[in-house]
Structure 1
Amino acid sequence: MAGQALIDHGRFLEALGYECELLIESSHATPPDLPVPLSPGWTVGEVLRHVGSMYRQTLGWLVDGALPREWQRDPAPGQTVESYVREGFVDLQEVLAWHDPGERAATWWPADPTYGFWARRMAHETTIHRYDVEDAARMPHAEIADDFAIDGIDEALALWFSHRLPMLGLSGTRGSSVAVRSGGHTWIARAGPEETVAWHCSDREVEHADAVVSGSPVIVYLWLWGRRWLTEIHSDGDADAVGQLWALLRLATK
């Protein structure tokens, strides 16, 4: 493992290639201008262009050592969207595979300035958007492994909730904490005007939380990313605390 990840770096590289193929295959089943309900305001073609753009932006971070000022955000004239996504994936995968996951690299998360951060980030980015396109196409969803989903829960809470929200200057309106339990793991997410923080914890800390949400790893993973409804997970305690957690993650990940 490297950096903050809960699974081996090699799994992320495998998942990135696998999910990229699934994303492209699912796009073949629908017209590019079809709206994507799970990514409001986007079409299938726009989701693919976004993923291809993120591959190039990530490569820019790794090559330039900072957020790149310019990168190819759309297919070149005459280039298909599929080719644009594949080309971006191949270039990024080559760089990620060449470097040790623990090797230092520029990232936007001080807790994990490594190449491993980007393998993890792009694997989850591609998985979530693959799920979006499958949903738009009304296709059966390809399987997500439980251990990969557990890592995705951790990334959503540690990176997007704990780090991204403060970066954006966003916080909860009332102090509350929610325990998130899945697959034998537990996290606490605490939000309010004074702090926004989450951590991987022991079961003993759950008794101090205002609410507890739980479910299978895949369902909780997708719920934290706004791809499942509250009714699809088990929730006990303060419903407003759970609603605040979900709403804040929507702001962090949109």
Structure 2
Amino acid sequence: MTARALADYGRLLEVLDAEGELLASSARGADPGLAVPNAPGMTLGGTVRHVGSVYRMVVAWLHAGGRRPTRWQRAPEDGESLEDYLRTGHRAVLTELAAHDPEEGCTTWWPLHQTYGFWYRRLAHESTVHRIDVQQAAAGMTVGGIGADVALDGVDEALTLWFTHRLGVLGVTNSWHGQVAVLAGRRRWIASMTATGTSAWRAGEDEIDGVDASVTTDPTGMYLWLWGRRPIRTVTPAGDRAGIAQLWHLLRLATH
């Protein structure tokens, strides 16, 4: 398994820039109490607050000299709007990341990827997923698309970072044991579930022979499905449905 992004890091920084701005503008004037579809318990305002907090957490982490931060501004100050809170955090993290080459070393929460590029990628997808949340929550708003290259990179991140690393940290055990192929566009991955843990990797065409199940859809559809922003039945399944359900539910645990 490789930790390197599928997308170019310069492209991911551009995505972070554009998606953060779009998230802020999509939230302008919207009711913060609106529920986010396909994300139980989340509201539009809570989503904006969460992303603004994550931006500040990353800046604090990068300024902490290798120590995971415990303190940062987690909510707007008195008189500060949610939109301004998000924009200020967005500008700060963009400025910090743009000042460093993505190959430059820094601490992160993934041992396999200890460079600024980790944060380029992580925040690009954090911003994209939650921009979609805000647009889906805001009544009557058109939900913007996702570039195929970004979607495929996000599929890769969901499987290699969240499904593999995050579930390992949580110490999750599995009731179903086997392999599910994830097929999106021309890209393939294998997600493996055993009694001792989970793992996923980029696969060649010949590697998917003999898997227990597979799920197939377009890159954007798979991106949203893996992040739980589309229902479980919105992919084309084949093989053991219990394995597909296990994959989907494990990702809900990993990404929430």
Report TM bin, short chain.
over 0.9
Q: Distance in 1 between matches of 2:38 and 2:20?
A: 18
SS in structure 1 at match of 2:209: helix
Instruction: Describe the superposition over 1:9-50 as per-residue Cα deviations: whole angstroms up to 9, x where unpaired.
Output: 111111111111211122125211112123221211110000
Q: Distance in 2 between matches of 1:212 and 1:11?
A: 30
* Offset of residue 174 of structure 1: 2.0
Aligned 8 A contact 1:3 1:114 in 2: no
Aligned 8 A contact 1:60 1:66 in 2: no
| Structure 2 counterpart of 1:175, one-letter code | H
What residue is the counterpart of 1:89 in the other structure?
90
What residue is the counterpart of 2:16 in the other structure?
16
> 2:153 pairs with 151, 154, 164, which one?
151
Aligned 8 A contact 2:38 2:230 in 1: no
Q: Distance in 2 between matches of 1:201 and 1:42?
A: 34
Aligned 8 A contact 2:225 2:231 in 1: yes
More off after superposition, 205-214 vs 147-156: 205-214
Does residue 1:134 correspond to 2:139, yes or no? Answer: no
Instruction: Describe the superposition over 1:86-116 as per-residue Cα deviations: whole angstroms up to 9, x where unpaired.
Output: 1101111011001000000100001110000
Q: Distance in 1 between matches of 2:152 and 2:100?
A: 25
What residue is the counterpart of 1:39 in the other structure?
39
| Structure 2 counterpart of 1:25, one-letter code | S
> Alignment length, in residue pairs?
253
Identity, % of aligned positions: 47
Aligned 8 A contact 1:3 1:116 in 2: no
Q: Distance in 1 between matches of 2:16 and 2:182?
A: 26
Instruction: Describe the superposition over 1:137-183 as per-residue Cα deviations: whole angstroms up to 9, x where unpaired.
Output: 14221110001000000000000000000101113212121000112
What residue is the counterpart of 1:122 in the other structure?
123
SS in structure 2 at match of 1:208: coil
> 1:212 pairs with 195, 211, 214, which one?
214
Instruction: Describe the superposition over 1:201-223 as per-residue Cα deviations: whole angstroms up to 9, x where unpaired.
Output: 11111112100111100000100
* Offset of residue 191 of structure 1: 1.0
TM-score (norm: length of structure 1): 0.96
* Offset of residue 4 of structure 1: 1.1
* Residue ranges of structure 1 left out of the alignment (5+ in a row): none
Moved over 2 A (4+): none
Alignment of structure 1 residues 178-189 onto 2, 5 Å: 178-189=180-191
SS in structure 1 at match of 2:71: coil
TM-score (norm: length of structure 2): 0.96
Instruction: Describe the superposition over 1:199-248 as per-residue Cα deviations: whole angstroms up to 9, x where unpaired.
Output: 00111111121001111000001000001123221110000000000000
SS in structure 1 at match of 2:76: coil
Alignment of structure 1 residues 157-196 onto 2, 5 Å: 157-196=159-198
| Structure 1 counterpart of 2:120, one-letter code | A
* Offset of residue 3 of structure 1: 5.5
Q: Distance in 2 between matches of 1:5 and 1:60?
A: 23
Q: Distance in 1 between matches of 2:178 and 2:101?
A: 39
More off after superposition, 2-11 vs 41-50: 2-11
SS in structure 1 at match of 2:222: helix
Aligned 8 A contact 1:3 1:102 in 2: no
Q: Distance in 2 between matches of 1:195 and 1:155?
A: 18
Q: Distance in 2 between matches of 1:111 and 1:161?
A: 14
SS in structure 2 at match of 1:42: coil
What residue is the counterpart of 2:7 in the other structure?
7
* Offset of residue 79 of structure 1: 1.0
> 2:238 pairs with 232, 236, 243, which one?
236
